Amino acid sequence: MLTPEQNRALQKYIAAFMKLRRAPGGHLEGPAPHKPILLMSVIDYALSVERFDGLIPLDGQIFALFIENWRKYVTTPHNPQIALPFFYLKNDKPTFWHLVARPDAQAGTGALDTIRKLQSFTEGAKLSEDLTDLLRQRDAAMLLRGVLVETYFKGSRNQRTGMSERLDRLLVSEAAIQYKILPEDEQVFLRSDVFKRELPKVYNYTCCISGLGFKSPEAQLVDACHIVPFAESQDDSAANGVVLEPTLHRAFDRGLIAIDDDYRVRISSLLDSMVYPVARIKEYQGKQIRLPQDEKYWPSPENLLKKMKSKFID
């Protein structure tokens, strides 16, 4: 149950969320939907973390939510740029959205209207304390989300899906398709962030060759590695990735080790003349890698063979 102070804050933000400052748009487009979509995504984010602290990071998790909500609720032909509402929400009253400047950022002028500019000058955004407190209360958070839907997207038949389902689609079969609605620089940012964050999860934060691992997304000892380089494949799906400890990641990238289409490790003959600590890598010759429990996340044999043919030093 909310305290009287929290109830007053809730009424304040209900009123504020119903009167967001939005660009008017053209005759066919109507007012811009960017701010309500971003706030809905922030609420989804707050409900998905263990202890919401009011910080909205510039990472793929919040942007994955933004894309999913955009696809579910927006029917007008607006351009779904994420950077614009992230920058301009600071102007809404009462003030509840504060950009967090990077310590090394120099003061600039003008709008931070691209992801690249935002990353150059800010670390993200910080919500006011009273709004942060409300978003820790599930009932209050869901009420505010409902206000946004009813005010700006009334009649929409779309329903929310879980965060895991959103990221699953980004990581598996629809990875390339999902990003096409974004400008190119935002596509690259979101793709790489989801890949780096989510692939280690399906490998249980464990190197698929050595078994080295540590169960913590905040302190990973492993890397998400592309099989076929992204610059060549434009593929950030699980089918084009494996999870390796840093030493094996470098060896894999340099062609000193490979994984064949039977998921067995191949070791380059160049390692025969090397001594410890590199020599320990030779122990993995012929070993079958650890694969995710769910087969849909397994690396593609075709990608593994392509990597071997193009990079492996036999």
Is the model's pLDDT at 19 over the cut of 50?
A: yes
- Tell me, yes or no, whether 153 and 283 share the same domain: no
Among 3-7, 141-145, 175-179, 182-186, whose mean pLDDT is lowest? 175-179
CA-based nearest residue to 241, from 177, 275, 192, 186: 192
- Tell me, yes or no, whether 29 and 78 share the same domain: yes
Q: What is the mean pLDDT of the chain?
A: 83
Look at residue 176 in the predicted model and tell me its pLDDT.
45
* CA 37 – CA 265 distance, rounded (Å): 46
- Tell me, yes or no, whether 112 and 242 share the same domain: no
Look at residue 314 in the predicted model and tell me its pLDDT.
83
Using 50, 70 and 90 to split pLDDT, how confident is the model at 107? low
Tokens of 292: 């995710």
Residue ending a domain, among 129, 160, 191, is: 160
Q: What mean pLDDT do residues 147-164 have?
A: 68
* CA 21 – CA 14 distance, rounded (Å): 14
- Tell me, yes or no, whether 8 and 149 share the same domain: yes
- Tell me, yes or no, whether 216 and 145 share the same domain: no
Query: Residue 81 falls within a domain, yes or no?
Result: yes
- Tell me, yes or no, whether 156 and 214 share the same domain: no
Which range scores top for mean pLDDT: 33-47, 55-69, 113-127? 33-47
DSSP-assigned letters across all residues of 226-292 = ESS-HHHH---SGGGEEEE-HHHHHHHHTTSEEE-TTSBEEE-GGGGG--TTGGGGGGGTTPBPP--
- Tell me the torsion sign for CA atoms 39, 166, 61, 307: negative
- Tell me, yes or no, whether 48 and 153 share the same domain: yes
- Tell me, yes or no, whether 19 and 143 share the same domain: yes
**What strands, in cross-sheet order, belong to the sheet with 97-101?**
55-57, 122-127, 97-101
Residue-range definition of the domain harbouring residue 79? 4-160
Number of domains forming the structure of the chain: 2
- Tell me, yes or no, whether 241 and 135 share the same domain: no
pLDDT in tens, 158-202: 544 444 455 555 565 444 444 444 555 555 555 666 778 788 888
Work out the end-to-end distance of the chain between its first and last CA atoms, rounded to an integer number of angstroms: 66
pLDDT in tens, 242-296: 999 999 999 999 999 999 999 999 999 888 765 555 667 888 999 999 999 989 8
For the chain, what's the residue count?
314
DSSP 107: P
- Tell me, yes or no, whether 205 and 82 share the same domain: no
Backbone torsions φ then ψ of 55, nearest 5 degrees: -85, 130
Look at residue 175 in the predicted model and tell me its pLDDT.
45
Q: What mean pLDDT do residues 54-64 have?
A: 85
Q: What mean pLDDT do residues 93-110 have?
A: 82
Q: Is residue 27 classed exposed, middle or buried when 0-12, 13-18 and 19+ CB atoms within 10 A define those classes?
A: exposed
Instruction: Tell which wins on pLDDT, 126 or 173.
Output: 126
Is the model's pLDDT at 110 over the cut of 70?
A: no
- Tell me, yes or no, whether 108 and 208 share the same domain: no
- Tell me, yes or no, whether 142 and 204 share the same domain: no
